[in-house]
Amino acid sequence: MPSFQLVRFLWAILIGYGLLATPLALAAPPTEPLNIVVTIPVLKDLTEQVGGPYVRVTSLLSGYENEHTYAPKPSDLIAVRKAKLLFEVGIGLEVWVSSLVKNAGSPSLRVVTTSKGIALLRDRSDHGGAAHAADTNERGNPHVWMDPENATTMMRHITEALIRADPAHATEYRANQASYLRKLDQLRGDLNDRLTRLADRRFISHHPAWPYFARRFGFQVVGTIQPQSGSEPSALHLHSLIAKIKKDRIKVVVSEIQLSQKIPELLAKETGARVVVLTTLPGGLPHTETYLDMLRYNVLQLANALDAA
């Protein structure tokens, strides 16, 4: 067999058995997902909704902890060192983040504050209680994600950060964001329809996590058990709340799964008000695994409690 025919014959055999790479086989392998760390579960959900298969997201909090007093673990330090991006709420909510980032010592890590541009609400003293200084940090109440309009702003910050870190998938990120925001708008409409027949919208809150939520859905926070995060209310403050609940016939006390139920139950026993336990973090209660689930759960549970009372 002539030499050129032998070469062609061997070439055909190699290709047939996959031993010689074709141009298609030499294409670049799929890129690894972006390693991203977030502080609280709502940011994990929003990031995964936008990023899809192109992100690998670790949330430092699972949904059961108190975001103000969380103490990072050694595994958190490792996660931050491996991350390309870290998403936080900011506004003094995660006071423990700066030292965690510093100790991680990753020069390539980019920290993104998702609350940037959101108009903040200031907490006010009520019935002898001090202002919620630990939450406001002299800037404003940090629980901005409890209003879905603010969550939209936070998602846009997340989307832009992902596009900057991974421009190859910009089209997918923008499409995922648009699809999610349509679902969020639909849910808001459904919840507002449910609330149209609700007459009494007043409640006592456990701690000031609810002003954005109340403003968006037309509820009214008329008192707060724990005006300052991490501290017990005074006896005078509790006596004042009990008197107010009785005098104004407040029907519902809103507590949170992340907090002790001892004082809300005491108020209920003294006044006949009903305690409803909600969550500020997705995953804190059954059927609140996503942000949409959490919004639906909180609104419907509170509305049902007010109706029943």
Whether 135 and 232 share a structural domain:
no
Q: What are the DSSP E strand ranges found in 80-224?
A: 85-88, 110-113, 202-205, 220-224
Whether 42 and 184 share a structural domain:
yes
The pLDDT of residue 149 is above 90: yes
Whether 266 and 121 share a structural domain:
no
Question: 188, 223, 258: which is the final residue of a domain?
Answer: 188
The pLDDT of residue 4 is above 70: no
Q: What is the pLDDT of residue 19?
A: 43
Whether 176 and 217 share a structural domain:
no
- Can you tell me the mean pLDDT for 160-165? 98
Report yes or no on 131 lying in a domain.
yes
Report yes or no on 285 lying in a domain.
yes
Q: What is the pLDDT of residue 67?
A: 85
15 confidence band (pLDDT: 50, 70, 90): very low
The pLDDT of residue 2 is above 80: no
Whether 240 and 219 share a structural domain:
yes
What is the reported pTM? 0.85
Higher pLDDT pick, 157 / 22: 157
- Can you tell me the mean pLDDT for 186-215? 96
Whether 50 and 99 share a structural domain:
yes
Q: Helix or strand or coil: residue 204?
A: strand
Report yes or no on 2 lying in a domain.
no
| Rounded Cα distance, 108 and 94, in Å | 21
Q: What is the pLDDT of residue 216?
A: 97
Pick from 169, 233, 163, 176: nearest CA to 205: 233
The pLDDT of residue 8 is above 70: no
| Rounded Cα distance, 90 and 113, in Å | 6
231 confidence band (pLDDT: 50, 70, 90): confident
Whether 216 and 181 share a structural domain:
no
- Can you tell me the mean pLDDT for 27-47? 86
Question: 155, 188, 221: which is the final residue of a domain?
Answer: 188
The whole-chain average pLDDT of the chain stands at: 88
Whether 250 and 106 share a structural domain:
no
**Joined tokens for residue 44:** 């994990």
Q: What is the pLDDT of residue 133?
A: 35
**Joined tokens for residue 234:** 């005074």
Report yes or no on 20 lying in a domain.
no
The pLDDT of residue 166 is above 80: yes
| Rounded Cα distance, 20 and 252, in Å | 73
Question: 171, 188, 205: which is the final residue of a domain?
Answer: 188
Whether 222 and 240 share a structural domain:
yes
Report yes or no on 127 lying in a domain.
yes
Whether 263 and 206 share a structural domain:
yes
- Can you tell me the mean pLDDT for 186-190? 97
Q: How many domains does the chain have?
A: 2
Query: What are the respective helix, strand and coil percentages of the chain, to the nearest 5?
Result: 50, 10, 40
Report yes or no on 295 lying in a domain.
yes
Task: Give residue-wise pLDDT tens across range 62-118.
Answer: 988 888 888 999 999 999 999 999 999 999 999 999 999 999 998 999 999 999 999
The pLDDT of residue 235 is above 90: yes
Whether 212 and 182 share a structural domain:
no
Q: What is the pLDDT of residue 69?
A: 84
- Can you tell me the mean pLDDT for 261-271? 96
Asked if residues 61 and 281 have their Cβ atoms less than 8 Å apart, the reply is yes
Report yes or no on 172 lying in a domain.
yes
Q: What is the pLDDT of residue 134?
A: 37
Between 135-139, 195-199, 243-247, 268-272, the lowest mean confidence (pLDDT) is in 135-139
CATH number at 232 reads 3.40.50.1980
**Domain that includes residue 123, residue range:** 34-188
Report yes or no on 26 lying in a domain.
no
Q: What is the pLDDT of residue 228?
A: 72
- Can you tell me the mean pLDDT for 248-265? 95
Whether 132 and 152 share a structural domain:
yes
- Can you tell me the mean pLDDT for 115-141? 64
